[in-house]
């Protein structure tokens, strides 16, 4: 029994540049058009649309198949989609000019493709050629660096509604020849379009990277651009066992980008944390290293009785005040400039939060914070750690393992830590019950309850 009346498979198999493939002939645009058309006509309860890998008919792409009847389409373009949806998906009649029903030819082509593919893999293997996966990993920094430089130079804002390289260069004070090379690479990466000599933002770049757009993420992303300089010290940091100072981390601009980067991640996660912890019986919260204040703001908005206190370093507190003020919760959220490794925490808190904090510190520093947090909690209070949590072998998940290196190049003794480590440290501090709450996304909560 089929769960859906029809099931569409659209081939989206990526292949190296220059090799025939369905994505190279436009299958991702077809997929997008199909999805929109199916939703618009409310066919989504009857028609399931999924992607699939190579079917061996790459020269005839974009290829798609409609089951259960097994109707194969080839050379489908976005302009064909509304006809296919109307005639076939809604009306039950396939579109003859696009249907490919020469089964023997299709089978022969597919088998031939499979044979050639396996032979090519075997020949590459025999010749000792570096596998594509490794080659791509080695060069992975190139697209990233192009985009980070474009953000640093604020190119997407300078492109505005369309401009040539000279006009953009005048706005951002860049060399015309070098800038044209970067702009062309951004076109190749699908971040700009080009008609004649005029460059334009793609809808995505205009939305997420240009000033004036409400979804502009540039300030927060500039933190990643700053971090890139730290990552270039990784080799030396691994030799030295700690970060190598690069002398660019303490400017007001760096701090402001850092907190904007934190806010970018935290503002969508904060309501999830409030939901996971609940507000029943919670009146006072201490938010250690609160950054932009996103978590305190979310708790304050969830209950008018809530009082939150944010402790952060003196350079950050004025930025926190700005975010808290703009959120309209200043009467509920107080700010304290200080050092969580030195200063007294106070007492009587129902929750003490450590969101994205513990990875900055060593085992000893975290244990010291946990012990003092235990003493600062009210009866039945909770210590909440939110972080990228490693598996016991510390080799997974990937984002937590990579983030550990981010902390190696950024801090004196920070790292990603495992659930077992957090649990042991909390129990050693006096917490009797410790549990993990998984949130959507890469970070999880470890919650210790004080009796």
Ligand X SMILES: C[S@@+](CC[C@H](N)C(=O)[O-])C[C@H]1O[C@@H](n2cnc3c(N)ncnc32)[C@H](O)[C@@H]1O
Site residues, ligand FES (CB under 6 A): 11, 13, 21-22, 54-58, 61, 63
> Rounded to an integer, what is the distance from CA 296 to the centroid of its chain?
23
Tell which one of 182, 192, 262, 400 touches ligand X (CB under 6 A). 262
| CA separation for the pair 381, 393 (Å, rounded) | 31
Nearer residue to ligand X within complex by CB, 192 or 390: 390
Nearer residue to ligand X within complex by CB, 66 or 385: 385
* Other beta carbons less than 10 A from residue 383's beta carbon: 28
Q: Which does 21 bind (CB under 5 to 8 A by kind): ligand X, ligand FES, none?
A: ligand FES
| CA separation for the pair 408, 241 (Å, rounded) | 8
Q: Which two tokens stand for residue 42?
A: 């409310």
Q: Which does 191 bind (CB under 5 to 8 A by kind): ligand X, ligand FES, none?
A: none
360 conformational bin, left if phi > 0, alpha if psi -120 to 50, beta if neither:
alpha
Query: CB of 353 within 8 A of CB of 286?
Result: yes
85: contact with ligand X by CB under 6 A: no
> In b/e form, how buried is each residue of 394-423, taking b as 16+ CB within 10 angstroms?
eeeeeebbebbbbbbbbbeebbbbbeebbb
Beta carbon of residue 65, minimum distance to ligand FES (angstroms, whole number): 10
Beta carbon of residue 42, minimum distance to ligand X (angstroms, whole number): 40
Q: Which two tokens stand for residue 218?
A: 């540039």
Binding span for ligand X by CB under 6 A among 136-144, 194-202, 356-364, 396-404: 356-364
Query: CB of 294 within 8 A of CB of 263?
Result: yes
335: contact with ligand X by CB under 6 A: no
Beta carbon of residue 377, minimum distance to ligand X (angstroms, whole number): 18
Nearer residue to ligand FES within complex by CB, 126 or 133: 133
Beta carbon of residue 272, minimum distance to ligand X (angstroms, whole number): 12
Beta carbon of residue 119, minimum distance to ligand FES (angstroms, whole number): 16
Cα distances (angstroms) measured from residue 446 to each of 51, 203, 362, 421: 36, 39, 17, 11
Q: Which two tokens stand for residue 97?
A: 């000019």
Tell which one of 266, 335, 352, 400 touches ligand X (CB under 6 A). 266
| CA separation for the pair 22, 61 (Å, rounded) | 5
Nearer residue to ligand FES within complex by CB, 53 or 346: 53
Binding span for ligand X by CB under 6 A among 94-102, 297-305, 309-317, 421-429: 309-317
- Residue 73: partners with Cβ closer than 8 Å, 6 or more residues away: 63, 64, 65, 66, 84, 94, 95, 98, 99, 100
Tell which one of 79, 176, 240, 341 touches ligand X (CB under 6 A). 341
297: contact with ligand X by CB under 6 A: no
355: contact with ligand X by CB under 6 A: yes
289: contact with ligand X by CB under 6 A: yes
220: contact with ligand X by CB under 6 A: no
Q: Which does 63 bind (CB under 5 to 8 A by kind): ligand FES, ligand X, none?
A: ligand FES
> Rounded to an integer, what is the distance from CA 200 to the centroid of its chain?
25
Site string for ligand X, 372-401 (x = CB under 6 A): ------------------------------
* Nearest one of 131, 183, 128, 130 to 153, comparing CA atoms: 183
Binding span for ligand X by CB under 6 A among 16-24, 91-99, 139-147, 308-316: 308-316
| CA separation for the pair 79, 97 (Å, rounded) | 13
Tell which one of 197, 339, 364, 412 touches ligand X (CB under 6 A). 339
Number of chain residues interacting with ligand X (CB under 6 A)? 18
Cα distances (angstroms) measured from residue 2 to each of 7, 68, 304, 439: 9, 8, 50, 32
Binding span for ligand X by CB under 6 A among 49-57, 65-73, 333-341, 405-413: 333-341
* Nearest one of 93, 97, 88 to 41, comparing CA atoms: 88
Residues within the interface to ligand X (CB under 6 A): 262, 266, 289-292, 294, 311-313, 316, 339-341, 355-357, 360
């Amino acid at each position: 029994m089929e769960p859906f009346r029809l099931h569409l498979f659209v081939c989206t198999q990526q292949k190296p540049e220059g090799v025939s493939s369905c994505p190279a002939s436009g299958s991702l645009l077809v997929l997008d058009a199909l999805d929109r058309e199916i939703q618009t006509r409310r066919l989504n309860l009857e028609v399931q649309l999924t992607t699939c890998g190579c079917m061996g008919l790459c020269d005839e792409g974009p290829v798609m198949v409609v089951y259960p009847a097994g109707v194969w389409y080839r050379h489908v373009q976005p302009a064909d989609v509304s006809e296919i949806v109307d005639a076939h998906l809604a009306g039950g009649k396939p579109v003859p000019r696009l249907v490919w029903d020469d089964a023997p030819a299709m089978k022969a082509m597919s088998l031939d493709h499979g044979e050639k593919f396996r032979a090519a893999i075997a020949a590459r293997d025999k010749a000792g050629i570096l596998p594509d996966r490794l080659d791509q990993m080695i060069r992975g920094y190139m697209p990233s660096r192009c985009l980070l430089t474009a953000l640093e130079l604020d190119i997407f804002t300078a492109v505005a509604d369309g401009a040539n390289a000279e006009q953009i260069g005048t706005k951002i004070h860049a060399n015309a020849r070098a800038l044209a090379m970067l702009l062309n690479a951004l076109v190749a990466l699908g971040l700009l379009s080009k008609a004649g000599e005029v460059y334009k933002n793609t809808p995505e770049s205009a939305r997420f990277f240009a000033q004036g757009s409400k979804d502009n993420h540039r300030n927060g992303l500039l933190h990643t651009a700053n971090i890139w300089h730290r990552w270039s010290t990784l080799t030396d940091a691994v030799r030295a066992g700690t970060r190598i100072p690069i002398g660019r981390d303490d400017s007001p601009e760096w701090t402001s980008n850092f907190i904007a980067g934190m806010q970018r991640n935290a503002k969508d996660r904060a309501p999830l944390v409030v939901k996971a912890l609940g507000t029943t019986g919670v009146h006072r919260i201490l938010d250690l290293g609160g950054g932009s204040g996103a978590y305190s703001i979310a708790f304050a908005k969830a209950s008018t009785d809530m009082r939150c206190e944010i402790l952060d370093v003196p350079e950050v507190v004025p930025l926190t005040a700005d975010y808290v003020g703009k959120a309209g919760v200043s009467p509920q959220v107080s700010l304290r400039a200080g050092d969580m490794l030195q200063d007294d925490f106070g007492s009587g808190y129902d929750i003490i939060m450590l969101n994205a904090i513990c990875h900055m510190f060593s085992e000893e520093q975290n244990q010291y914070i946990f012990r003092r947090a235990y003493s600062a909690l009210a009866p039945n209070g909770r210590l909440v750690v939110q972080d990228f949590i490693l598996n016991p072998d510390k080799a997974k998940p990937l984002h937590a393992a990579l983030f550990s290196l981010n902390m190696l190049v950024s801090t004196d003794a920070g790292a990603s830590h495992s659930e077992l480590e957090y649990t042991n440290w909390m129990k050693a501090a006096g917490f009797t019950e410790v549990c993990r709450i998984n949130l959507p996304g890469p970070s999880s909560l470890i919650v210790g309850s004080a009796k």
